[in-house]
Amino acid sequence: MAKPTLLLIGDHFIQPGLMRSKLGDLADRFDIVEASTPFPLEPFRAIAEVREASGSEEQMIDALRGASLCIAHHAPLTARVLAHTPELRLFIVCRGGPVNVNVPAATAHGVAVAYTPARNAAATAEHTVALLLSALRGIPAADAALREGTWKGDYTYASAGFELETATAGLIGYGAIGRRVARILRGFGATVLAYDPFATIEPSEEVEQVSFHALLERSMIISLHARETAESRGILGREEIARLPKGAVLVNCARGSLMDYDAVTDALRSGHLFAAAADVFPTEPLPPGSPLLNCPNFVMTPHIAGGTREAAEKAAAIAAAELRLFLEGKPLRYCANPEVLEAAN
């Protein structure tokens, strides 16, 4: 009997060879086809109706020919791709959510969609705190000045940052990443507040669950960790930033749509905010001429918070575990459309 075909389509970060290595004994059960997209050497982009994708519909249609199973990273699964791949039954995305998949179209075609949440939680939490410290202490500006031949050691009381040890930090969103950020900040001695109507916080976590307005009014540090939803888009706008204490610091390593960057720019220029930092933006890549490029006390990185070797390893391992559950006829742990599996059973 012919073996089913499994497509492993990775990229320069989560390579198809890494995906294969995590399959273990499962690898012998398939005819495996390997392919790659150009991410991250080329930034992801919108492809047809899906976001944050890499490669092309044409590549996917060709690579998926005859495949019933697929493990991917940023490769797009669009309505057009699905229309050309009638044998496909399972599509696993090595990401925190299937944003590069048209989930309703997959459901209509009977394709189960799985994903790999929290695979980069540690990486993103560490990057969040790294950006926070960089912004608080003006590290990028000091480094740049030294490289240009200027000894910029002229800090004053007014220009100096504050310490985490006595600061109050407010986390908007308290999932896998937010919890890790809280643990790191508590290690510095910070008081940590959290706003997340869906989270349960145990007393042992030493994090105070508060209302959104209380979090804004009490926090000198605000860090965003919410998922992008209709309710969370624009959650930190001009009005909310104005409610923050003067001299507060913002960090966003979640999604660019959560924060009003024009309002952040104005608050930094007016001095209402002491500093801000971001790894994500409403438009990516950041367009030339963006006001953020010349904004004072603003630290930026190009959506790299989740980019560690361990994150790639975890994603591939979780994907392999989901594939094993599927083959054993068991419920998937992380399925975006479980009704597909229920209908099949």
Distance CA 264, CA 254 (A): 16
d(CA 240, CA 235): 8
Sketch the domain layout of the chain as residue ranges: 5-119+308-344, 121-300
Q: What is the mean pLDDT of the chain?
A: 96
Distance CA 294, CA 288 (A): 11
Question: 254-296, pLDDT tens digit by residue?
Answer: 999 999 999 999 999 999 999 999 999 999 999 999 999 999 9
Is 208 catalytic? The answer is no
> Nearest to residue 199, comparing CAs of 231, 222, 177?
177
Which architecture characterizes domain 121-300 according to CATH? Answer: 3-Layer(aba) Sandwich (3.40)
Per CATH, domain 5-119+308-344 is 3.90.380.10: no
Name which of 344, 345, 339 is nearest 107 in CA terms: 339
Of the candidates 272, 284, 313, 324, the residue annotated as catalytic is 284
Nearby residues of 203 by Cβ (< 8 Å), 6 or more positions away: none
Q: Which of 241, 269, 117 is nearest to 179 (CA)?
A: 117
Contact (CB, 8 A) for 281 and 261: yes
Q: 108 and 45 in contact (C-beta within 8 Å)?
A: no
pLDDT of 21: 98
Model-level pTM greater than 0.85? yes
Q: Among residues 231, 132, 125, 129, which one has the least CA distance to residue 178?
A: 125
The confidence score (pLDDT) of residue 153 equals 85
Mean pLDDT across 83-110: 97
**Residue in 74, 95, 179, 255 annotated catalytic:** 255
Confidence band (pLDDT; 50, 70, 90) for 331?
Answer: very high
% of the chain residues with pLDDT over 90: 96
The pLDDT, as a whole number, for residue 1 is 73
Out of 127, 240, 303, 322, pick the active-site residue.
303
The phi and psi torsions of 8 (rounded to 5 degrees) equal -110, 105
Active site residue 324: no
Nearest to 132 by CA among 152, 98, 161: 161
Mark whether 183 is an active-site residue. no
Q: What was the pLDDT predicted at 343?
A: 85
Q: Are 120 and 308 in contact (CB under 8 A)?
A: yes
Look at residues 127, 129, 76, 126 and name the one whose alpha carbon lies nearest to residue 103. Answer: 76
Length of the chain as a residue count: 345
